[in-house]
Chain A
Amino acid sequence: MTKSKDQVKVMVIACERSVNLDKELSGAHGRDLNGVSNAYVVRVPCSGMIQPRMIESAFNSGADGVIAMGCQIGDCHFREGNKFCRERLLGLRPPVIKKSVPKNRLKGFWMSEVQVKEFKQRVEDFKTEVAEELSKEAAKA
């Protein structure tokens, strides 16, 4: 199924210590990212807490793309959370992400508290990438 960039839905599972989204969320459930359409955010204490199943569940709930976000690699409040999360996204650390998960529409963002603007820009760019990816997948099918 192809979608335009604007139709693409993105789920961001974010560490609450990375990009500061305290004032950036609104909507009925307080999970819509301000200024970026169809982008939703769920925050966890550390990106190291993100289980592969959480990512699967985001795709199963209708996300076209999923972003796992932690602090900049090298800096983690809990020392190794973002490193482990990244290794998991790359399939280098158990538990592994199921094969059925579309890896090309899954991305890790490693950004600090102060990078709000940059974050939003990157989500926009990601939506474009996901739209392209979807049309590639449709062409293959």
Chain B
Amino acid sequence: MFTTLVRTGQKAILRIEDICNKVMGSEQNILYYHGAMPNFFLWVLFLSGLLLFAYYMPTLEGAYQSVEYITQKIPYGDMIRGVHRFAADGMMLAVWLHALRVYFTDRYREYRLIAWYSGVALTFMMMLIGITGYVLVWDERSFIIVQELEKLLAAVPVIGAGLAHAFINDNTISNYTMSMSFFIHTGTSFALLVVLWIHYMRISRPVVNVTWAIGCLLFGIVLILAGLTPATSGPEAVFTVEPKYFEMDWFYLWLFPVMKILGYELTWLVLLAGATFVVLLPNFVKSKDHEPALVNSNKCVGCKLCSIDCPYEAIYMAPRTDNSRFKEIAVVISDRCAECGLCVGACNFDAIELPFNTSPVVMDDIRIAMGVN
């Protein structure tokens, strides 16, 4: 049943993409940029974040006022703030699209494991960045977030108190709490780049950018959203007043209603179980035996074509040591090999083959199919 569900998902995706291909052409088919779209939003976030950074003050007294100043006094400040907020939502949405697409089209396991694991890590990092971003505004919602996070952290067995203390960064909420949130917000954003680099490991020529047209379209949508529904703060947080305002952002703040329903301990359990489940997903499907491409050293002339074409950086050229008249030989890194055969298509000398379906076998199949023996 599970397999049927995945198969149906894949078919639905292919049908939708086919329609988009007919409308937009495959070059501009936005659905083919599911991996590049989060990147686009990331750059928008870095740029708009940089502008906000210039006027933002990470202190209890200054934070709220500085955000208000940005919103009301700086030319286009409200738009920049809005862009920052909606690009963040866009990024999360694009990440979910990307994750579902790779899951349903079976592109997340075996030779793609690193990308899957790092993708899970990236998503959690984004959550952290988003949540701490909402602290920086220092309105009543920020106050609730800090209080709830403190309790959530404190609920961790043994080290809970230490964690909560580290997050609050003092015994009570103070300016240091603001610096900590600011640090987590920006620091994790930069750490994102490192994990992103890991995410791209073993992929030759990754598609990292959307086309100009798609970029303009996405930015336009963000601009329109920012213009129509400006990002605003609730009432400023005051310690003496019980905070009530909590406008929802379902892309990042869903954890808080969950906490309310489940309580802190259970929330941890659910989070852990969810993360474990996602990390283990690739193990639920049985992989077939790994039969990587093999190079025939007598035939390889060292032309490099296979190593250029390999889409998973699984082939490198090594100097020859066997007195051959050719200088180099192709070497396959077995566990990176996806058994795709692109190297076979690139080799003009029958020197690299998939053991389970060699090119002489394919040629025989062709002759047999045509009725020639």
Chain A residues within 8 Å of B, Cβ to Cβ? 9, 11, 13, 29, 31-32, 40-42, 44-46, 48-54, 57-58, 61-63, 72-75, 77-81, 84-85, 88, 94-95, 112-115
Q: Is B147 an interface residue (CB 8 A)?
A: no
Once bound together, how far apart are the Cα atoms of A126 and B302, in whole Å? 38
Tell me the smallest distance from the CB of B119 to a CB of chain A, in Å. Answer: 16
A-B contact number at CB 8 A: 131
Size band of the interface chain B makes with A: 35 or more
Contact call B369/A29, Cβ cutoff below 8 A: yes
Give 15 A-B contacts (CB < 8 Å), ordered by A residue.
A11-B369, A32-B369, A42-B365, A44-B357, A48-B340, A49-B341, A49-B362, A54-B359, A72-B14, A72-B17, A79-B312, A81-B340, A114-B14, A114-B18, A115-B18
For B14, what are the chain A residues with a Cβ–Cβ distance below 8 Å? 72, 75, 112-114
> Which A residues touch B305, using CB under 8 A?
94-95
State whether the Cβ of B26 lies closer than 8 Å to any Cβ in chain A.
yes
Residues in A with CB closer than 8 Å to B354 are 45, 49
* Residues of B13-37 whose CB lies within 8 A of A: 14-15, 17-18, 21, 26-27, 29, 32
Measured in the bound complex, the distance between the Cα atoms of B369 and A13 in whole Å is: 11
Task: Tell me if B311 is interfacial: C-beta within 8 Å of chain A.
Answer: yes
B213 at the interface (CB under 8 A from A): no
Is B311's CB under 8 angstroms from A80's CB?
yes
A54 to B365 Cα, complex, angstroms: 10
A75 contacts across to B, CB distance below 8 A: 14, 17, 32
B370 interface residue (CB < 8 Å to A) = yes
Contacts of A11 in B (CB 8 A): 366, 369-370
Known: A48-B309, A94-B305. A113 touches B11 (CB 8 A): yes
Is A63 in contact with B357, judged by CB distance below 8 angstroms?
no
Chain B, range 154-211, C-beta contacts under 8 Å to A? 203-205
Q: Which B residues touch A63, using CB under 8 A?
A: 370
Task: Assess whether B346 is interfacial by the CB under 8 Å rule.
Answer: yes
- A112 and B348 contacting across the interface, CB-CB below 8 Å: no
Query: How many angstroms between the C-alpha atoms of A6 and B14 in the bound complex?
Result: 32
Do the beta carbons of A54 and B370 come within 8 Å of each other?
Answer: no
User: What is the CB-to-nearest-CB distance from A20 to chain B, in angstroms, rounded to a whole number?
Assistant: 9
Closest Cβ–Cβ distance, residue B159 to chain A (whole Å)? 42
Are B311 and A79 interface neighbours, CB within 8 A?
yes
A-B contact sample (10 more), CB < 8 A, given A61-B367, A78-B311: A42-B365, A44-B357, A48-B342, A51-B344, A53-B359, A61-B370, A74-B27, A75-B17, A88-B345, A114-B14
Residues in A whose Cβ lies below 8 Å from that of B26 = 72-74
- Contact of B366 with A49 in the complex, beta carbons under 8 Å: no
Residue B89, interface by CB 8 Å = no
User: In the complex, what residues of A have CB within 8 A of residue B312's CB?
Assistant: 79
The verdict on B372 contacting chain A, using a C-beta distance below 8 Å, is: yes
Tell me how far the C-beta of A4 lies from the nearest C-beta in chain B, rounded to whole angstroms: 19
Asked if B347 is at the interface of the complex by the 8 Å CB criterion, the answer is yes
Chain B residues with CB under 8 A of A79: 203-204, 311-312
Residue contact A48 to B369, C-beta cutoff 8 Å:
no
Chain A residues lying within 8 Å of B371, measured Cβ to Cβ, are 62
